[in-house]
Structure 1
Amino acid sequence: MVHSIPIWLPQTQTWLYGQVKHLPESIQSHIVCDRVENLDQFHLPNIHCLLDESTWRYYWEKGTRKLRLRRHLPFLVEHAARCQAQVLHSHFGNIGWLNLSVAKRARVKHVVTFYGLDLSYLPRQDPRWHHRYAALFSQVDRILCEGPFMARSIVNLGCPAYKIRVHHLGINTDEIAWIPRKWNPLEPLRVLIAATFREKKGIPLALEALGRLQHEVPLAITIIGDAGNNARDQAEKQQILQIIERHNLLPKLRMLGYQPHSVLFEEAYQHHVFLSPSITSSDGDTEGGAPVTIIEMAATGMPVVSTVHCDIPEVIDHRRTGLLAKERDIDGLVVQLKWLLDHPDQWQAMTAAARHHVDVEFNARVQGARLATIYQGMVA
């Protein structure tokens, strides 16, 4: 089978690496991409990169497709034929639409996974995506998404419900130690925030809540992540920096920028709480499902404070596997953080329940086997 994705692989898409890596050996995967990044972290067999194979062909194929002189990428069609693929898996809805003609020419079954921005942001910003997705939904064999909220959103865009399957993203729980956090009231509460600086991640709201909480308890805050080069992310970064200055958080704050996945886990075990208050952004962007980082941090034994947003409640069951506030509710975030301070005796039970839930529903090997079953059902 062939996986199609433009770039293999940004550091912010580690969950995609896990999807492919943990498919069972009976599934032979080939990754076809335009260009590669971070291969030292995300190397897998059978990566076919258009830019690496031929620079002139990369620009020619991209250019002719952009000018609508050609509706498909011959490079992708060729590799589907070479590996005798039976299934094309397009990652992201917009890539699925672009690959409709590829699936026809290669005569393969076509499955498309939606992840978030492709579902909530694109149709709102450009009405053409409503028509494009109508074409996708009529021709594609299967649509995958992370949870029931996302599934309903895809139905609302016009996809027949019978084509949709909920498939949780998995994490490698075999390599994640569960170490239940304990907090000594005589030490600072160490809070971790990790996300791209994007409005939907709610980082300004997290910092506003911590700005209030610092008067109740000493804090040590770490932020992993940064802004992209686009204007939206840069504006978000400026807002984050302004809030840090306004609440005088800098003396108790470390900003580490983008870090490898391994560093995220090293830092995670040095912190008490993971704070991730996702929101629907002003331009309509959402998480779509649930941030994989929430799943990973819950698996480590760290209490998670998040929000009732998209499919986050699929991961965090309030007061059982973590804590949830309403979107954009700063007071609610403070209340949940204070609950943790007032109930340190309940941390272990909560984090144990969270780890059990992750083991059952978000284990990469189990999810890999479930994904293989979906593929096999399409070609049976």
Structure 2
Amino acid sequence: MYKVAVIRNWFLPISETFIYSELVNLNRFTPIVCCKKVLNLEQFPFDPIFKYKGKEELCEILRKEKVDFIHARFGLTGADLLSVKQALGIPMLTSFHGFDLPTNVKSMKKYKGNLEILFKEGDAFTVTSNNMKKILVDFGCPKNKLFVHHSGINIDRFAFRNSEFPEDGVVTILSVGRLVQKKGMEDLINAFSKVYAQDKNVRLRIVGDGKLRHTLQKQVKQLNLDKVVTFVGALSHPDVIHEMHQAHVFALASTTAKDGNQEGIPNVLKEALATGLPVVSTLHAGIPELVRNEQSGLLVPERDTDAMAHALLQLIRNPDQWHKMAKKGRKTIKRSFNTETQINELEHIYDLVINGLDNEGKE
């Protein structure tokens, strides 16, 4: 088998289950992990993991392990590893995931002018949506090196459950995501306050943590929503699934942050659809490539809290729509976003990277 070095500065932030899923489900390639810092190993057990401090040490590891090619997770990592790729004379695939897009002002500064070199010397690139593909092409990435590759989820881990209208009449809206600007939690809370003004039998549960937690809690208090909005904090993946099975509607108000940071296609939306939750989200980045408006969920413009509130009320008041949306959402995940299908596609990309590209871009 060919050996691939999956390189990520930190292995592995709790939000990056998609990287772990791809890593442990490879069939035809032998992966090793190289990183500068190890964290959350109890949730993401893997062996072997090699820690390195500098590029010379990394080169020694890759030579000793006889690695055939590099899979750099995130564009910034790929740009940083160009000298390693050149020193070893091996191919490199770089995967972009969202915050590393050149539309993000902070990320663009960190590239320090190396993005153009990465596009020229990197062997291949993946993005998680057609929206991201367009962005990279606009910034100079050759189409023949670029693949749209969706991260998949293990659908067997997400028991399908028809969301039924609760006997006590209290509808739980769930949102899961880091408490950062691009997740749009501020907008969701404002939209929820408008829903609550019209229907007191609603509750909002927010799962996740981040630098905006205190600000968001203050917002909730100012809106007098303390008793109906719950900040659950960060949870393990099994506990997130449990929350989904207890909820009735899923909401994610993703938005483009002030610095240009945006989503790819949020995995949490795939998970919500897999469990049978009708979703309300935004016309943001690659989300419309996953959620079909009026079919598996409802989509509204970014930061339009009136439209978000209207969509939530539409679902709450029409529970007869839930089952139809749930079936459509589950079918979409099973067909196009399941782990088995996506691993096969990733390994096909690996084949092309090793053997040289003959590609017109993959949708």
User: Structure 2 length as normaliser, TM-score?
Assistant: 0.93
Q: Which residue of 2 aligns with 1:259?
A: 235
* Distance in structure 1 (CA, Å) of the matches to 2:145 and 2:107: 25
How do 1:287-298 and structure 2 match up within 5 A? 287=263, 289-298=264-273
Q: Which residue of 2 aligns with 1:369?
A: 344
* Distance in structure 1 (CA, Å) of the matches to 2:103 and 2:17: 21
* Distance in structure 2 (CA, Å) of the matches to 1:293 and 1:120: 24
| Letter of the 1:204 counterpart | E
Q: Secondary structure at the match of 2:197?
A: coil
User: Is 1:219 the counterpart of 2:202 in the alignment?
Assistant: yes
Q: Which residue of 1 aligns with 2:15?
A: 12
How do 1:1-380 and structure 2 match up within 5 A? 1-24=4-27, 26-50=28-52, 58=53, 61=54, 73-120=55-102, 122-123=104-105, 126-127=108-109, 129=111, 131-184=113-166, 186-217=168-199, 218-227=201-210, 233=211, 236-287=212-263, 289-380=264-355
| Letter of the 1:34 counterpart | K
Query: Post-superposition shift, 1:251?
Result: 0.8
The 1:122/1:79 distance shift into structure 2, 3 A limit, reads farther
Query: Post-superposition shift, 1:124?
Result: 5.4
Q: Secondary structure at the match of 2:256?
A: coil
Q: Secondary structure at the match of 1:340?
A: helix
Query: Post-superposition shift, 1:341?
Result: 2.0
The 1:251/1:128 distance shift into structure 2, 3 A limit, reads closer
Preserved contact between residue 179 and residue 209 of structure 2 (Cα < 8 Å)? yes
Preserved contact between residue 123 and residue 129 of structure 1 (Cα < 8 Å)? no
Preserved contact between residue 101 and residue 108 of structure 2 (Cα < 8 Å)? no
* Distance in structure 2 (CA, Å) of the matches to 1:94 and 1:9: 16
Root-mean-square deviation (Å): 1.6
Q: Secondary structure at the match of 1:118?
A: coil
**Cα deviations by residue, 1:321-346 (Å, 9 ceiling, x for unpaired):** 11101000001101111111232112
Preserved contact between residue 79 and residue 111 of structure 2 (Cα < 8 Å)? no
Q: Which residue of 2 aligns with 1:70?
A: none
Q: Which residue of 2 aligns with 1:67?
A: none
| Letter of the 1:242 counterpart | K
Q: Which residue of 2 aligns with 1:230?
A: none
Query: Post-superposition shift, 1:127?
Result: 4.4
Give aligned-pair identity as a percent: 28
Preserved contact between residue 176 and residue 208 of structure 2 (Cα < 8 Å)? yes
Preserved contact between residue 101 and residue 107 of structure 2 (Cα < 8 Å)? no
Q: Secondary structure at the match of 1:76?
A: helix
**Cα deviations by residue, 1:343-366 (Å, 9 ceiling, x for unpaired):** 211211111111111111111121
Query: Post-superposition shift, 1:130?
Result: 6.8
Q: Secondary structure at the match of 2:173?
A: strand
| Letter of the 2:222 counterpart | R
Q: Secondary structure at the match of 2:20?
A: helix
* Distance in structure 2 (CA, Å) of the matches to 1:119 and 1:255: 30
* Distance in structure 1 (CA, Å) of the matches to 2:78 and 2:321: 45
| Letter of the 1:17 counterpart | Y
Query: Post-superposition shift, 1:76?
Result: 2.1
| Letter of the 1:108 counterpart | I
| Letter of the 1:32 counterpart | C
Preserved contact between residue 125 and residue 283 of structure 1 (Cα < 8 Å)? no
| Letter of the 1:11 counterpart | I
Unaligned runs of 5+ residues in structure 1 are: 51-57, 62-72, 228-232
Preserved contact between residue 99 and residue 107 of structure 2 (Cα < 8 Å)? no
| Letter of the 1:165 counterpart | F
Query: Post-superposition shift, 1:23?
Result: 1.5
**Cα deviations by residue, 1:66-106 (Å, 9 ceiling, x for unpaired):** xxxxxxx1232222222322220000000000000111112
Unaligned runs of 5+ residues in structure 2 are: 356-363
Preserved contact between residue 321 and residue 354 of structure 1 (Cα < 8 Å)? yes
Query: Post-superposition shift, 1:255?
Result: 1.4
Which stretch shows the higher mean deviation, 94-103 or 39-48?
39-48
| Letter of the 1:13 counterpart | E
